[in-house]
Structures are given as C-alpha cells and as structure tokens.
Structure 1
Amino acid sequence: MEMETNSIMLIKQKLEFFDILKAALVIPCKNANFIVFTFFSSLPFFCFMVLYETFLQTTLLETSKVLTVLPGLYNYIWVISTFITRRLTWDFSLQLIRLGLLYLVPLHLVELFNVIVTVDLASRIYTGENPITLREMIHKSVDKAWLKGSFITSVYVLFLSTCTLLGLIWIVTNYTIFSRSIFIYDLFFVAVYGAAFAILLTKYLEWSAVWNMSIVVSILEKRYGVEALAVSQYLVRGNEQRGLFFMLVFFAWGIVLRLPCLYGECNEIGSKIVPQITLFCLGNVIKWVVCVVYFHDCKKRILEKVDEEGEEIRAVDEVEGREKLRKKADDEV
C-alpha cells in the first residue's frame, strides 16, 4: 500500500532528467516479478546479441583492413575510393549482408519481445497497478492484435533508424577518407562532413526519443504505426531536450562497451563478449524503463496543459459573460 502511494505521488510530480533516471532505477527494486520476467524475456535477446556482436566485431576488423589505404595514396584523395572498392571482396560483401539480415530479422524480433515485457511491467509498477502474474503475462504474449500492432510500429521505427544510421555511416566513411588527405582544399570537405555528422547525430538522438516513445505508446495505449508516431511526437513536444539527453546517455553506453573493438582489439575480445553483452542487455532494460517514466511524465504535462488552457477559456468566458450582463444592465438603465 505504501509503495502504491509513493508511486502515485511520484506520478503527480514534474520530473526532470535525474528524477526520471532515479525513478527508473528504483522500479526493478519494487517488484521481484519484474526482475524474473525481464531476465527470462532477455535470454533470447542475449543469445542473439552474442551471435550478432561476434559477427559485428569480425566485420569491423575486416572493414578496418579494407579502409587501410597505402601511405603513398594519401596525396591522391580521388584514387582512394577506387582503391577501397577493389578491396571489397565477394566474401566480405556476403558478410555485410549476413550481418544486416541478422540485425533486421531475428535480433529485431527477440528485442521487441523483450521490450514489450519490460515496458508493460515497468508501467504497471510505476503507476501502482496490481503486479502482473505469470498467467496474465502468457495471455498477453499470445494477444495477436497487441503483438501485431507493436510489431507494425517497430517496423516503422526500424526503417527510420536504419536509414539514419546508414546516413551517419556514409558521412563517417567520407570524413575518414578526406581527413587522410594533405591537400588544403580537402580540409573544407573534412569540416563539412564533420559538421554534418554532428548535426545528423544530434537529430538522430532526438528522433530516437520520439521513435522509442512511439513503441511505448503502441504497447500501453494500443495505437500503432503512423498514429503511434504522431502521438509520441505530440507528447514530447516541449520536452525534446530531456529525450535527447536520455538517448545520448544510452548511445554513449553502447559506444563505451564497444571501445575495445573500436581500438583494434576485436581479435582478442572473444572472451569478453559475454560480460559486454550482459552489460548491454542491462542498459537496454534500463533504457526502456526510462522511456516508460518519460512517457508518463510527458503525458501528465500534456494533460495539465490542457486543463490549464480549459480553465483559462472558462475564466475568459465568465468575464465576457459578466461584461455582457453589465452592459445589458447599463442599457436598461
């Protein structure tokens, strides 16, 4: 009872960045079922992530070899692209295709299942609802309409995020190529690509908050696809900065976990993949709990704004009504 009262009081407060993080970190400690259910729902995602990360790190190692340009070519920037293209073997291309398919199909599905369980449980605990039982969780897991709607929204999000990430990769590749040139006029392109990367990365993180919110809307509000994206865009209006900071934190978390590979230690990291993915899955659960708290806070702010606007309209109507009565009384006199 006391826990439910604290949850209700927390919902009524306006939460800032650290308040939301604190509330999200407290949620797993409030209910043992949350830890149990999220653990078992994370197992398929964990297994596929180990496989995916192995392929990813191998691909990154091969990519670094492909992008290694002979020192004599640094002064001939326009020859570099041709040189790199010739080094792209058929096997490497197949490896990229395999990595992409693994990311788009099985990994996406198992992550979505983990997200659905995490979001539903976190929302129940945060709002003070009755804890879900194993029977209810199984019943929800076979709800075709619910799963189908959430899947449709996730496909929209996957498409948008993948296109943006490909744009970032293209910019980074061009930046890397031009930054190796010693010609002064190529420094202009380095500056352009650097600025473009910073702008697109900022927008990507800002959009990610909206996209993740749309999945939360699909799970909790049962609004799907374009409608879920529109609702999430409406909810985060005026709160974009907090969403940007949240996504920046978890984006940095993923980068930090991959730093050993980015520094060329991919061939030595095999034994470190399991603890790395464990921390990654933990961060993923916390990210979605944060998204749930962020969703409820944004929704509360919107409702309060609507109530305030309604009260202002009623107050204006009352003043106008009094003025009309006074004017009418003056006319009669």
Structure 2
Amino acid sequence: MKGYDEMEDNRVMRNQKAGVFDIIKQASTIFSKNFIIFIFLTFLPLFFFMAYYEISLQRTLVDASNILKLRSGPYSYSDRSILPAIPVKSTKDFHHELVRLGLLYLVPRHLLELCAIIATVDLASKIHVEERVTTTLKEMMHRPIYGARMRGTFITSLYVLSFSTCALSGLIFLVTSYFAFWRRSMFLGFFLVFYGPIFVAMLAKYLEWSGVWNMSIVISVLEGTYGTEALLHSAYFSRGSERRGQLLMLVFFVWGQGLRMSSLYFGWYEGGSWGIAAQVGLWCLGNVLKWVVFMLYFYDCKTRTLEKKVDVELGRVTKAVDVRKDTETE
C-alpha cells in the first residue's frame, strides 16, 4: 500500500504543470548563460532591419492619427486653416506607405525573424535536452539544421502569418473605427459598452491562438512536422494549457507594445536617435526570450500530455486485471 501511495504521489508530481513564471525563469536561465550566442543569432540582420522598419511604422502611425483627428474633429477635412497645425500626408502617399509597410512586414521581416527563430529554438533545445550550462558558437555550427526541416518550418510559418495577419486586421479595424467614428460621437457610451468588450475578447482570443501558433513553429523546428499537421499537434499538446499559453503571450505582447508606445510618446522615431535603437534592441532581447520560453512550454505540454496518456493506459490495464481477478475469485 505504501509503495502504491508513493507511485501515486510521483504521478501527481509529474503531471503538475509548470507555471508561467516558472517557464520564464527557466528560459531566463538558459538565455543568461548563453547571452553572447543568442545576441549573435538575433541582432545581426534583424536588428538593423527592425530599426528601419520601426521608424517607418511609427511615422505612419503618427500620420494615421493625424488623419483620423482631422476626420473625427468638429471641422471639415478640407478646412485649410487648420492644416498647418496638423501635418498630414496626402491620401495617395499614405496608401502607398501602408502598402510598402505591408510588403516589408510580409517578406523581409518574416524571413529574417524566421531565421532567428529557427536558430534560437534549435540551440535552446540542445542546451535544454542535454542539460548543458553553456555552449559555444563553434559547437552549434558543427550541428547544422537540415534543409528539409527549415522548409517545413517555413511552410508552418506561412500558415501562422496568414492567421495572425487576419486576426490583427480585425483588432486594427476595431481600433480604427473607434478613432474615426466613435471617439467624438454621441454614441461613445454605446461603443464602450458594446465594442469595448468585443475588442478585449478578440485580443484575449488572439493571444490564446498565438500560443498555439507559436508552439506549432517550435514543433516544426524540433520534430520536422509542418503545416496543418504541426498546427494540429500544437492544439493537441496545448489542450488544457491554453490559459498558460495566453498568459505567456500576454507578457511578450505587453513588452513589445509597451516599447513601441514609449517610442511614440517620446518621439524616438524622429531623427534616428539612440532611442529607437534601444527600443529595437530590447524588443530583440524579448523576442529571443519568447522563443526560448515557447520551446520550454512545448516540452512541458508534450511531457504532460504523454504522461497523461500513459496513466490512462495503465488505468485501463489495472481495471482489466482487477476485473479478471474478481472473475477468478467468483
């Protein structure tokens, strides 16, 4: 009886989920021990591109805000007396800028970030699985990532990019409609009561889905499964842990958007100051840590799911043996 109780205690301890802060703490340990390697993998091409991209994006956001202020104000958009106070690009130039930013986001940023993700997840996984304290760039280069796995990860990332772009478009539409139509409207109270909860619900769902999508990319990097199969595996392993994935995404979402809002508030996008370099540098650090976190989150979810499956099978076997013993006793 004592041995059975000990086995039950061990099973319960194994099936306990690692908390959000436990995962982040463990990822921070791996990251801090291999800081130089992760910096090398992440900062080189992505850092310089993101500095340029953030300056362009934040200037466009300011232009969009100015246009919405003009259109939602108590004055006409064609009122020339107020135009000098609020500089606004022409509608044609603004639309061209949006298209350019969209292409930059979909192609070079996606590819550069994907390369950093693959290298980071692969290296962090080797450190975690082998339980090594540190590794070197030379050791990493002797263990290359196979081209087939990179192609599979690219396919999965295209699915994730499509889904996340659609979800973000919905969120952006709600925010834009608020500034364009409701902010100075007599229906502001209606918006806060009706649209506000819809936005919060959509944001919460987006963060939850993002946890599943990010895990699917980790699965493609580590196991070679890609596309819809990787997404299905991710949904299976994360079943029952959606809340953890959502909270993990919330941490890094707040980190990234907080840095961007700070840059907009202080005007770091103007003149290419050191402020934008600091913002992008901190974002890159957070981005690397995020993928180490999701690598650990995947291993924890997979281990918990497989152990739960084994426990179910053992329970069935035990039940069958008990029924057989009862039959023989009778």
- Contact 2:269–2:276 (Cα < 8 Å) also in 1: no
Partner of 2:41: 41
State how many pairs are aligned. Answer: 302
- Contact 1:153–1:224 (Cα < 8 Å) also in 2: yes
Cα distance in structure 2, aligned partners of 1:212 and 1:237? 14
- After TM superposition, the structure 1 = structure 2 runs for residues 1-333 of structure 1, keeping only pairs within 5 Å, are 14-30=17-33, 34-42=34-42, 43-69=44-70, 71-73=73-75, 89-128=91-130, 131=135, 134=138, 137=141, 140-141=144-145, 143-184=146-187, 187-263=189-265, 265=267, 268=270, 270-271=272-273, 272-327=275-330
Give the deviation of 1:266 after TM superposition. 5.6
Give the deviation of 1:323 after TM superposition. 2.3
Cα distance in structure 2, aligned partners of 1:254 and 1:188? 30
Cα distance in structure 2, aligned partners of 1:18 and 1:139? 31
Partner of 1:331: none
SS for the counterpart of 2:70 is coil
**Counterpart residue identity of residue 35, structure 1:** F
Cα distance in structure 1, aligned partners of 2:124 and 2:14? 13
Cα distance in structure 1, aligned partners of 2:290 and 2:16? 21
What's the CA shift string for 1:152-186, capped at 9, x where partnerless? 000100010011000100011112234323424x5
Give the deviation of 1:287 after TM superposition. 0.5
Give the deviation of 1:264 after TM superposition. 7.3
Cα distance in structure 1, aligned partners of 2:47 and 2:23? 26
- Contact 2:237–2:302 (Cα < 8 Å) also in 1: yes
Cα distance in structure 1, aligned partners of 2:38 and 2:15? 27
Task: Return the TM-score normalized by structure 2.
Answer: 0.84
- Contact 2:124–2:292 (Cα < 8 Å) also in 1: yes
Identity %: 46
Cα distance in structure 1, aligned partners of 2:89 and 2:121? 45
Cα distance in structure 1, aligned partners of 2:319 and 2:107? 55
Give the deviation of 1:60 after TM superposition. 0.8
- Contact 1:175–1:194 (Cα < 8 Å) also in 2: no
Task: Return the TM-score normalized by structure 1.
Answer: 0.84
- Contact 1:153–1:226 (Cα < 8 Å) also in 2: yes
Partner of 1:78: none
Cα distance in structure 1, aligned partners of 2:124 and 2:210? 20
Q: Structure 2: state its 5+ residue gaps.
A: 1-12, 77-87
SS for the counterpart of 1:68 is helix
Give the deviation of 1:49 after TM superposition. 0.5
- Contact 2:57–2:101 (Cα < 8 Å) also in 1: yes
RMSD of aligned residue pairs (Cα, Å): 2.5
SS for the counterpart of 2:144 is helix
Deviates more, 1:304-313 or 1:129-138: 129-138
Cα distance in structure 2, aligned partners of 1:137 and 1:146? 16
